[in-house]
A and B are shown apart, each in its own frame.
Chain A
């Protein structure tokens, strides 16, 4: 059984991005929690997954734009790790910034499971939603901390006129 993806999935785009931006520890914790509480996905599910290609660390050339929106230019590289697995006929891919093979591999596994209609609903509610909440909280904290440094400058008139 092999399921080809026919059109770019907005959901898939979202979950791959969310999981890549979630720190590995948080992702692992939530995944373990999800396995224990839902009892739907076998705990040894990883054993059913085969690597499509070896996990690999390499570089992605980061591009910027002159003045923020003009012509493109190369800023520099960043380390990126990618994994590709097949699990029960679904192909999963994991791409993350950095060099954590565990992180990339876990995302690839979860990407495959998330495409599986059998698990999708459960994973959406017990994995993705909590992760999105967590990320929202972290971002909020940063916003609030920075907002405390918001400054109002006053110009003071000097001289007689």
Chain B
């Protein structure tokens, strides 16, 4: 177990979950730092990003109180125990690795802290990550932007596939002149990609 696995700092606002980040908050004339959990951070982040109300600390506290209160009310309405699922370790799932190959975070440690420690953790513990995401996301398939390099590669793959298809069609039609042109175009594209 690495030394990091023992570093469990509780959120200074809700006092329930592990703190995951430190936030600078403005207390009148001073900037202070508070350690917050993911839930408290998420609630505060936009107002904090916008900065400057001068009462950000008060707001974080107030938001955390309100959130805890509404969680309790919702749980009471539904007759559920008050402890949120978020505060419990993730259930063990098949298909996840025993440890992250990059940072060495063990699956058990990941289940307790409920958070990936590096990018490789996200794929090593994919099933668990997807389970957490399924609580808040309607779909578990990314549909947004891609890195430019990835987008270029994807366009190129599609272009090569299109050329290959056209080549096969030209051969099937016995249009050998067109097929030769497409073959050369395909070779040029592939050579450019290998260069």
A and B interact physically: no
Please list the residues of chain A having a beta carbon within 8 angstroms of any beta carbon in chain B.
none
